[in-house]
Amino acid sequence: MVSPALYNHLLLTPEQRARIDVVLVSPRNPLNIGAVARAMANFGFEHLTVVSAYDPHWREARSAVGAPELLQHARETQAIADALAPCTFVAGTGTLTHRNPEQTVLSLPHLAPRMALELARGGRAALVLGPEKHGLTRDDLSYCHVLVEIPTDPRQPSMNLGQAAAVCLYELAARPPQSTSIPEPANAPQSTTLTADSAQLDRLAALIDQTMAAAEYSPETMRQANHHDLRLLLRRLAPNAHDTRRILGLFRRILWRLSHQPTAEKTSPHR
């Protein structure tokens, strides 16, 4: 049997775990939410956010054995954007079956080193899990920097929500000791400067979207698709907070000029 001291040596520090959020999107079964809370308590994670739960009584789930307070103090939002607003790195989970991923795909064993780099920069990270029936949607994943795949047998690729959370959280908690160097993944930002958080990126995406509409960049019917692509693009580029503010200023100026130019100039074929 492994001694408690040796086991605890492998866990993230309380300060590191405090900067990792577990986010459940549209969960349907309160028992599964309770199972996730129990898994979080097993590995020392405390910050749970539930987005648009199907059952309003999910805080009463009896499956949260040893974690009733975690469930009671969980944050509740109606939109995934609100849940992820303070996060500088977001990992969505899912299977690649019947899915054409639009972001970098990480196998679960490679998630911990990538997240460790974000924590070392002082960032905040989120692990996002989707509803039991179909997982995260394409739109949900557009808020994520990476898609994490849990290696499973192809004959049964899907997992129960509580089981998936437990496997992921174990991988994050049981990191190498401090003395072990962690190789930097190829897709990780090279700068030690903290990347912009999700709320900043969403503000920038919304402003670029308004600017594109003012410039009549594409038909109105394409606006939702454009916004989806902008969310993905900005997360792939991973600009830092300073650069994001500069880009915001640039597009605000462009939008102001587009909004204030004379009507004749707007409709001129030579613009």
- pLDDT tens sequence across 154-211: 888 778 999 999 999 999 987 554 434 444 544 455 556 788 999 999 999 999 999 9
Task: Quote the tokens at residue 165.
Answer: 């959370």
d(CA 171, CA 150): 11
pTM for the whole structure:
0.85
190 in any annotated domain: no
Q: How many domains does the chain have?
A: 2
pLDDT at 201: 97
Round to whole Å and give the CA distance between 256 and 4.
Answer: 61
- Among 138, 173, 208, the domain boundary falls at 173
Alpha-carbon distance 73 to 64, whole Å?
13
Q: Does one domain contain both 128 and 212?
A: no
Helix and strand numbers, DSSP H then E, in the chain: 12, 7
Question: Which pLDDT belongs to residue 209?
Answer: 95
pLDDT value at residue 192: 61
Two tokens, residue 12: 């993230």
Whether 180 maps to a domain, the answer reads no
The token duo for 18 is 């405090």
Burial-class residue 194 by CB neighbours within 10 Å (0-12, 13-18, 19+).
Answer: middle
The answer on 96 and 19 residing in a single domain is: yes
Distance between CA atoms of residues 21 and 24, nearest Å: 10
pLDDT of residue 180: 40
Cβ atoms of 34 and 62 closer than 8 Å: yes
In a domain, 182, yes or no: no
Structure confidence at residue 178 (pLDDT): 45
State the pLDDT at residue 96. 81
Q: Which has the closest alpha carbon to 211: 233, 238, 230? A: 230
Question: Which stretches of the chain drop beneath a pLDDT of 50?
Answer: 1, 177-183, 185-187, 271
The answer to whether residue 10 sits within a structural domain is yes
Boundaries of domain holding 202: 198-267
